[in-house]
Amino acid sequence: MDADAFIIDIAHWPESELPLAGWYGQPMTQAQAEALDRQARECLHRRFPGGPPLRCRLQWLIARFWRGREVAAEVENLLAVADDPSARALVLLVHGQLLAAVRRQGALARLDAGFALASSLLNPEAYFQVLKRHAVLRDLTWHALPASPQDLASLLREAAVIRRLRGPGEPRPRGTEGSHLDTLD
């Protein structure tokens, strides 16, 4: 799986092109997060009919996450105001990916919920790309406290090693069950 093919630099993507199959959980340095935070705030303060676009709000969410701020309330707010399944799916997927990047418990639940909403909106190639990515990530162990940030390629490599070491007959770690595993297994 080519992890880099789906990495999204949200700072440079127009709203209409935020792909549901993208990976938005790429770790950022403090300087990068601060720059994205400034960009997001500028965008949020512009006047838009109907309020700021989702891209601006997701930029702010991602920047806050990588600056070590709590984002759960903003995620719930975004979910409450999302006006279509695509927007709700994107919010859930982005939050799940951010949590996955630091191996936090709850990541898989968000990824599963986002995928459930996005599945009918994805083209077949993107559908199977996301399905496979989430299946591989299930082999990771998840923690109550954040671990060191990892990019997608590193997460996928680690999950593959865990799967090989575990062997085909051993069960997956507890808490990794999901509704879409039967499609791949």
Instruction: Say if residues 162 and 140 touch (Cβ distance below 8 Å).
Output: yes
Q: Categorize the per-residue pLDDT at 118 as very low, low, confident or very high, splitting at 50, 70 and 90.
A: very high
91 or 43: which carries more pLDDT confidence?
91
Q: Which residues pair with 23 in a beta bridge?
A: 7
Instruction: Tally the domains of the chain.
Output: 1
The whole-chain average pLDDT of the chain stands at 86
Query: What pLDDT does 1 receive?
Result: 42
Predicted pLDDT of residue 46: 85
pTM tops 0.95, yes or no: no
- For residues 65, 68, 70 and 72, what is the CA-based torsion angle, rounded to 10 degrees? 30
Q: Which token pair is 105? A: 């418990």
Residue 27 has pLDDT above 50, yes or no: yes
Segments forming the whole domain that contains residue 80:
3-184
pLDDT at 174 over 60: no
pLDDT value, residue 92: 98
Joined tokens for residue 25: 């959980």
Region 66-84: mean pLDDT is 95
% of the chain beyond a pLDDT of 70: 81
Lowest mean pLDDT across 74-88, 95-109, 167-181: 167-181
Say what the pLDDT of residue 7 is.
53
